[in-house]
Amino acid sequence: MLLEGKNLTFAYDRKKGNILTNVSLRIDSREPAAIVGPSGFGKTTLCKILSGYLRPQAGEVLLDGKPLPKKGCCPVQMVWQNPERAVNPRLRMRATLADGQQIEDRIIRELGIEEDWMNRYPQELSGGELQRFCIARALGRDTKFLIADEISTMLDMITQSQIWNFLLKETKERGIGLIVISHSEALLSRVAGRRLTF
Amino acid sequence: MSCTNKRHILEIDELSVSFLQYENSRSSRQIELPVISKLSVSVHEGEIVAVVGSSGSGKSLLAHAILGMLPYNARTGGKIYFNGELLTPEKIREYRGGRIAFVPQSTTYLDPLMKVGEQVRGGRNSSGGKDSGRGGRPSGGRRNDPERRKKQRALFARYGLSEETDAKYPFECSGGMTRRVLLTSALMGNPELIIADEPTPGMDLALAKKSMEDFRAFADEGKGVLLITHDIELALEVADRIAVFYAGTTIEEAPVSDFASEQLLRHPYTRALWRAMPQNGFQPLPGTQPYVKDMPAGCPFGPRCENYSRECAGEIPMQRVGCGTVRCVKYHGEPLAVHEHHA
Amino acid sequence: MKESGKRFGWNQRQRARLLLVFSVLFLVTVAAAGYFCRDASMVTDFSRKNLAPCFAYPFGTDWMGRNMFYRTLTGLSMSILIGVSAAAVSAVMALILGIAAAALGKRADSVISFLIDMVMGIPHILLLILISYACGKGLKGVIVGVALTHWTSLARLIRGEVLQLKESEYIQIAERLGHSKLQVAAKHMLPHLFPQFVVGLVLMFPHAILHESSVTFLGMGLSSEQPAIGVILSESMRYLIMGEWWLALLPGIMLVLTVVLFDLGGTSLRRLLDPNSVHE
């Protein structure tokens, strides 16, 4: 599958100028790709546009030549940097995970999520444990692209390598495209085959 | 080279922090939640020591415990020595913002309604009250003192902050500038020790390294820096020694040079950490850090350790080895020497 | 707070729970007792008129020989019923308008926000009198009046909460995972709004009760043959200069007690429902 961004232009507040101006990119799902750019370039904003959280003022996002569907589960899913903010503090983890679209037990098992964690509230789990739930939630049946925006920045090295080894295997088996953002050069050289530099 | 005869600036001896909390959101039963248990770490003169642990593991509480900024439902145990002197709550209040400075994680520690130059001149603690270091507007007298003005200018110049920066408000400063403002603010009181809590989030490695050079320059004047971070790659770049934080305690303290190869490291967790780094094989060890409520008896790493045996479930003493320490019963080095300098 | 908690050996949640149970019991008892002594409170007996409080008549009797204890209970129970129903209507309005303001886009938001500001800008009692008068006074007038004037602050609170929730990452993620706005609101927003709503509702009772009695006291509310607390108080004014202090003082104290207990109950409920409440 091919994910394209064409002439994307975006501003949160037009008076303060554009965050992104005429950005174009093409990402093939067969090879994990890294988006590399200087600090403050708007990488997170670009990710949000590609996964449909934000609508660009100009330009379009195409998946295999078609725009992203407006309704239903978005085929481009994004995992956020801070897992504590990405789960509802008033829901048990089982309910949060149920937001995902038919998550297979295999994924839950391979991510090392324990049955006991399901009945807990997020405050009772560590950041690394929560991030596993967030990743599982994003890997529903129809997910075609997964955007990982600094997903292991806040985690320890062991959790980081567990998560990335799982993600590399899972996306390869299911043919899911992987888009990686990380400030760590060493991590990028392990996980991303291609670099899109801005 | 022996590192033990260098002067200790900070020594933390078996620090524990626990919180009194309700068992769950509905219950009225209170339980004590041990977040930090038996943590020991020391900073010598001229050293940057990094405490490395994953986010949400409670390591930020270490800084708050040293600075006496814990919330009221926290209980602490153990001892903290500053220049060989036991730190009591009164001493902490006296030194905080002066001889011991804090560079906080969040840029929200700056007063959004005050120009940064004035803020740095006034210092954050000049109101001198019982407040926890936030809040409390500095008095105008100190702010306009010509000597402080000169000093602030000199510090700003040293860290590449131009004269226009003085008159900027915090929201007008970029991330890197804000970091440097926080650092100069810490340096205004001529500290001997800086405690920095995650000073580089959201920076790329180049920018982070650059801001770390400032800490290096500070330490090289015979002073100490305790750097609390999740980023081991950064810590390996700038620190002299690394204390590895796992499940509420430091399981190993080792010089950065020991991270050159797995064989030089002592604790099985540190070794696993080393193997998991992207540049060293990227091999994951299965399992997760235990949550504070399900802490195993004895060694917190026990359930994930391949060498686990019955003795690991007992008390695990800290052993001193060369320039570092390790908390593992399987490691056979010299026993931990009693420190003389407290007497 | 901390000190006294230690002295009694109780933590804040246990104390909050006890207070809540106590205030609920008291209020239910008053409401039920008032209902049962309604007939007894109407009995006039000129052989026992103007008696000061004594063992047989703890609140004394009035110039028509009516038992003031029964009259006070009946009046309070009526006030509580009016307060509860008016506050309930008002809270539901607040919930609907608050969510609508936050969810239906900018135009709806500015209309509702304007409405909130306008109602808040007029003194409660003035608006209440106008509405009550327009509805023909009496029970209906008072309930409609109280309901239409008390929803504003809760509506503003709920609007703010929904606006903040809409921006939260987990709700945006749930929407991108294909859940409709309604599903997301039910699953993710309700658990946050429910405690706010319940506490807001309970804390509205004392206001509603006080306003009901004030309007009645001023003669714009319930009619004078009803044993309402406002009626009792306004009638007693005439007898106060004759030294019949008990006609005003004791019913007045009971009214204050009821209001304070509702307030304590609401505050305790907030402590119990808020998971981030202090860990004392």
DSSP string, B189-226: T--SEEEEES--TT--HHHHHHHHHHHHHHHTTT-EEE
Note the pLDDT of residue A171: 92
Question: Which of C272, C275, C279 is facing B20, going by the closest CB pair?
Answer: C279
Q: Which sign, positive or negative, has the C-alpha torsion B66, B67, B70, B74?
A: positive
Domain count, chain A: 1
CA B10/CA B45 separation, integer angstroms: 9
Note the pLDDT of residue A40: 65
The tens digit of pLDDT for each residue in C182-226 reads 888 889 998 888 888 888 888 888 888 888 888 888 888 788 777
| C7: pLDDT strictly greater than 70 | no
Confidence of residue A179 (pLDDT cuts 50, 70, 90): very high
CA C129/CA C131 separation, integer angstroms: 6
Q: What ranges in C104-180 are assigned the alpha helix state H?
A: 106-121, 124-134, 138-149, 152-167, 169-176
Q: How far is C164 from chain B (nearest CA, A)?
A: 19
Name the DSSP class of A160. H
Confidence of residue C4 (pLDDT cuts 50, 70, 90): very low
The tens digit of pLDDT for each residue in B18-36 reads 887 777 666 677 778 888 8
The tens digit of pLDDT for each residue in B268-327 reads 888 888 999 888 888 888 888 777 777 788 888 888 888 888 888 888 888 887 778 888
CA C92/CA C78 separation, integer angstroms: 21
CA C208/CA C32 separation, integer angstroms: 19
Q: What is the CATH number of the domain that holds A28?
A: 3.40.50.300
Q: How far is C240 from chain B (nearest CA, A)?
A: 48
Q: Which sign, positive or negative, has the C-alpha torsion C57, C61, C65, C66?
A: negative
Q: What ranges in chain B are assigned the alpha helix state H?
A: 60-66, 89-95, 116-122, 140-143, 146-158, 163-166, 175-187, 205-219, 232-238, 268-276
C24 sits in which H/E element = helix C12-36
CB-CB neighbors (< 8 A) of C280 in chain B: 73
Q: Is residue B43 helix, strand or coil?
A: strand
Confidence of residue B339 (pLDDT cuts 50, 70, 90): very low
The tens digit of pLDDT for each residue in C126-184 reads 888 888 888 887 888 888 888 888 888 899 899 888 888 888 899 999 989 988 888 88
With CA atoms as reference, report the closest residue to B235 among A188, A131, A84, A184: A184
| B124: pLDDT strictly greater than 50 | no
Q: Which domain holds residue A180?
A: 2-197
C151, C97 in Cβ contact below 8 A? yes
Confidence of residue C278 (pLDDT cuts 50, 70, 90): very low
Of chain B, the percentage scoring pLDDT greater than 70 comes to 82
Domains of chain B, each with CATH number or no CATH: 1-21+31-99+191-300+319-343 (3.40.50.300), 113-189 (no CATH)
Question: Which of A53, A77, A86 is facing C170, going by the closest CB pair?
Answer: A86
Question: What are the structure tokens assigned to A137, written together?
Answer: 């939630």
Most confident by average pLDDT, A39-53, B39-53, B128-142: B39-53
Name the DSSP class of A80. -
Count B/C contacts: CB-CB distance under 8 Å: 18
Count of CB atoms situated within 10 Å of the CB of B249: 26
B37, B248 in Cβ contact below 8 A? yes
Confidence of residue C267 (pLDDT cuts 50, 70, 90): confident
Note the pLDDT of residue C19: 86
CA B57/CA B273 separation, integer angstroms: 16
Least confident of A11-20, A167-176, B214-223: A11-20
ipTM of this predicted complex? 0.90
Which of A90, A102, A142, A145 should we substitute to test contact with C (largest number of C Cβ atoms within 10 Å)? Answer: A90
CA C135/CA C131 separation, integer angstroms: 6
Of chain A, the percentage scoring pLDDT greater than 90 comes to 30
Helix axes C229-240 and C190-217, enclosed angle (nearest 10):
30
Which chain C residue's Cα is nearest to B33? C279
Strand partners, B76: B17
Note the pLDDT of residue B206: 67
| B130: pLDDT strictly greater than 70 | no
pTM of the entire predicted model? 0.79
B62, B15 in Cβ contact below 8 A? yes
Strand-pair category, A194-197 with A33-36: parallel
Domains of chain C, each with CATH number or no CATH: 2-45+61-273 (1.10.3720.10)
